[in-house]
């Protein structure tokens, strides 16, 4: 049985999906106004591992990661560069997709964008207004926090204490300092949409409520994000979603701990602010993931070049065994049968991960396995291919498919010439699809190659490709 620490109830609970084996999981993704930092990368990687483990356990996961593509930060960046906010959002959406691919993060099933859900957002605000949970002041619509019974139960905050000491948006129009924006009246030069309250744009919190409701319904299984989102973002999501539907919003809330740089809080003013793409220039995705999985997802994590170098050295043991497996499978067609209880290690791995995704202990199980397999190999030079296939299977199932700290992928072992021939064949199929006006298939081939790290460049003469790993 899998147990998850639920931020809402403050305890570990057995995971029971609403509609097994199907699981709906929503993650608060980036606001696309800049390159994401290494602290964001921790949350992105850890939710990726949780999703992978659920799939490993046989669950059919639908994973949504939203993209906030209209926001004060995007508008501010656009104004500073004197360009349209939509251009900023598109630029950093593309950058985000490239960077998570390089971090070996599986693409989400859904990437809902705020700007594509304006109708749903307006409808939810209208419902809240009709139910007297929202009020309009000259085109600005606010959520009336005092109308919602139980506000603060996710964060554990008391509403009276919050009123007296919380850092909230100062706005004299609001009835209560804790009331938050659902719809913001458009200011000059800002993007806007028509609404029952005039020209404006959505507030941040309502976007996630409307998008998750659209794709997952009024109640779903898992909602996740960084610990910094517990209050006010996720607290406000619960308030507005449950007020609108009258139903329980989310069954399990998962939050990821903060990341410090050299034991200090990451800050641009301290000069220790690093983007994920900067770190990827010096270290592999596997070494970054290895560092992250050595700490529990909910706790704080220290990050430094020294710790990354140490993680990289730990990975050498895995890589050496991977190379040994490949060498023996290339050379051997037969050999001795070696009796090994592989199910013992699989059970140990599952037992640790079933305890609230305890990746540090899961890694320990994998390295115990590596140590034992190296010992068997040294003592049994005549071990046959079946043994090596079983060793490889365990590592693929756990270290690759769940943790993402090793890669036995087919593209990694393909002969270079054959790899190029396969890419050229796909390019030819794409050209034929375009000639037949089957643009959907052509786009699917281009996007699929891009996700594998192959970038296509079209010209009048021909289409060329390059690896962008």
Chosen domain end from 265, 298, 328: 265
Whether residue 272 is contained in a domain is answered as: no
Residue 447 lies in a domain: yes
**At a CB cut-off of 8 Å and minimum separation 6, what does 398 contact?**
346, 349, 362, 365, 366
Domain membership of residue 399 (yes or no) is yes
Out of 47-51, 241-245, 431-435, which region has the weakest mean confidence (pLDDT)? Answer: 431-435
Secondary element (H or E) of residue 224: strand 220-226
Tokens of 253: 């809330």
Residue 410: pLDDT above 60? Answer: no
Mark whether 356 and 417 lie in a shared domain.
no
For residue 297, pLDDT over 50 is answered with yes
Rounded-to-10 torsion of CA 310, 315, 319, 322 = 160
Q: Collapsing DSSP states into helix, strand and coil, what is residue 1? A: coil
Averaging pLDDT over each range in 153-162, 239-248, 305-314, 425-434, which range is the top one?
239-248
CATH code for the domain of 362: 1.20.120
Tell me if residue 271 falls in helix, strand or coil. coil
101 and 188 in a single domain? The answer is yes
- At a CB cut-off of 8 Å and minimum separation 6, what does 93 contact? 32, 67, 69
Q: Give 454's pLDDT tier (boundaries 50, 70, 90).
A: confident
* Listed residues 408, 428, 457: the one ending a domain: 408
Q: What tens digit of pLDDT does each residue of 342-361 get?
A: 999 999 999 999 999 999 99
Q: Work out the average pLDDT over 429-440.
A: 88
Same structural domain, 176 and 218: yes
Same domain, 96 and 180: yes
Q: What is the dihedral of CA 203, 205, 206, 207, to 10 degrees?
A: 90
Contact status, residue 103 vs residue 41, Cβ threshold 8 Å: yes
Do 402 and 424 share a structural domain? no
Give the global pTM: 0.86
The answer to whether residues 250 and 155 belong to one domain is yes
Least confident of 157-171, 331-345, 361-375, 401-415: 157-171
In a domain, 175, yes or no: yes
Q: For 352-380, what is the mean pLDDT?
A: 97
Main-chain phi, psi angles of 168, to 5 degrees:
-125, 165
185-209: per-residue pLDDT in tens? 999 989 999 999 999 999 999 999 9
- Verify that 419 and 404 share a domain, yes or no: no
For residues 245 and 334, state if they share a domain.
no
For range 207-212, the mean pLDDT: 98
pLDDT above 80 for 106: yes
Query: Does residue 338 share a domain with residue 358?
Result: yes
pLDDT > 70: percent of the chain:
96
Range in 196-205, 238-247, 325-334 the model is least confident about: 325-334
SS3 letters for 422-453?
HHHHHHHHHHHHHHCCCHHHHHHHHHHHHHCC
Q: Which helix (H) or strand (E) holds 27?
A: strand 22-27
Q: Which of 71-85, 88-102, 199-213, 407-421 has the lowest mean pLDDT?
A: 407-421
398 shares its domain with 348: yes
**Does 226 fall in a domain?**
yes
Average of per-residue pLDDT values in the chain: 92
361 lies in some domain: yes
| Whether the predicted pLDDT of 272 surpasses 90 | no
| Overall number of domains in the chain | 3
**pLDDT score, position 414:** 46
43 touches 281 (CB < 8 A): no
CA distance 228 to 234: 9
Q: Which domain holds residue 382?
A: 314-408
Query: 270 pLDDT exceeds 50?
Result: yes
pLDDT at residue number 413 = 44
290 inside domain: no
The yes-or-no verdict on residue 35 having pLDDT over 80 is yes
Q: Is the residue at 277 inside a domain? A: no
CATH number of 99's domain? 3.40.50.620
Lowest mean pLDDT among 154-158, 277-281, 438-442: 438-442
413 alpha-carbon distance from chain centroid: 28
For residue 330, the model assigns a pLDDT of: 85
Answer yes or no: do 144 and 179 share one domain.
Answer: yes
Summarize the confidence of residues 88-100 as an average pLDDT: 96
Question: How far is residue 257 from each of residues 65, 75, 197, 260, 296, measured CA to CA in Å?
Answer: 18, 29, 39, 10, 9
Is residue 237 within 8 A of residue 208, CB to CB? The reply is yes
153 in the same domain as 133: yes
User: Of 408, 425, 443, which residue sits at a domain end?
Assistant: 408
Which of 68-82, 96-110, 406-420 has the weakest average pLDDT?
A: 406-420
Rg for the chain, CA atoms, rounded: 25
């Amino acid at each position: 049985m899998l147990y998850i620490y639920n931020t809402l109830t403050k305890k570990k609970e057995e995971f029971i999906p609403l509609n097994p084996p199907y699981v709906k999981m929503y993650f608060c993704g980036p606001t696309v106004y800049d390159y994401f930092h290494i602290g964001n990368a921790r949350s992105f990687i850890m939710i990726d591992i949780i999703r992978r483990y659920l799939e490993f356990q046989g669950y059919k996961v639908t994973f949504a990661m939203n993209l906030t593509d209209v926001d004060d930060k995007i508008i501010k960046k656009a104004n500073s560069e004197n360009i349209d906010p939509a251009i900023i959002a598109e630029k950093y959406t593309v950058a985000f997709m490239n960077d998570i691919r390089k971090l070996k993060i599986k693409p989400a099933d859904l990437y809902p964008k705020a700007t594509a859900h304006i109708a749903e957002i307006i409808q939810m605000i209208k419902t809240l207004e009709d139910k007297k949970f929202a009020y309009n002041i000259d085109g600005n619509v606010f959520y009336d926090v005092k109308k919602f019974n139980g506000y603060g139960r996710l964060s554990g905050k008391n509403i009276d204490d919050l009123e007296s000491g919380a850092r909230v948006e100062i706005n004299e129009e609001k009835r209560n300092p804790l009331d938050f924006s659902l719809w913001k009246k458009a200011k000059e030069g800002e993007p806007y949409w028509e609404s029952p309250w005039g020209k404006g744009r959505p507030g941040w919190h309502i976007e996630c409520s409307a998008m998750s409701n659209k794709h997952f319904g009024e109640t779903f299984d898992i909602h996740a994000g960084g610990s910094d989102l517990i209050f006010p973002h996720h607290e406000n999501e619960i308030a507005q979603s449950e007020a609108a539907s009258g139903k329980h919003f989310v069954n399990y809330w998962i939050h990821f701990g903060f990341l410090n740089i050299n034991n200090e809080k990451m800050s641009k003013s301290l000069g220790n602010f690093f983007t994920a793409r900067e770190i990827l220039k010096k270290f592999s995705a596997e070494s970054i993931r290895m560092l992250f999985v050595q700490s529990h997802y909910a706790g704080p994590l220290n990050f430094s070049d020294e710790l990354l170098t140490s993680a990289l050295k730990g990975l050498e043991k895995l890589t050496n065994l991977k190379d040994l497996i490949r060498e023996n499978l290339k050379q051997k067609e037969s050999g001795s049968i070696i009796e090994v209880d592989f199910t013992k290690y699989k059970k140990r791995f599952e037992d640790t991960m079933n305890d609230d995704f305890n990746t540090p202990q899961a890694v320990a199980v994998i390295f115990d396995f590596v140590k034992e397999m190296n010992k068997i190999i040294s003592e049994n030079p005549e071990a046959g291919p079946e043994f090596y296939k079983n060793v490889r299977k365990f590592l693929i199932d756990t270290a690759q498919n769940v943790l993402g700290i090793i890669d036995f992928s087919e593209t990694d072992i393909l002969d270079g010439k054959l790899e190029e021939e396969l890419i050229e064949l796909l390019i030819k199929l794409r050209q034929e699809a375009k000639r037949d006006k089957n643009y959907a298939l052509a786009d699917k081939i281009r996007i699929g190659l891009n996700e594998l790290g192959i970038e296509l460049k079209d010209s009048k003469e021909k289409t060329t490709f390059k690896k962008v790993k």
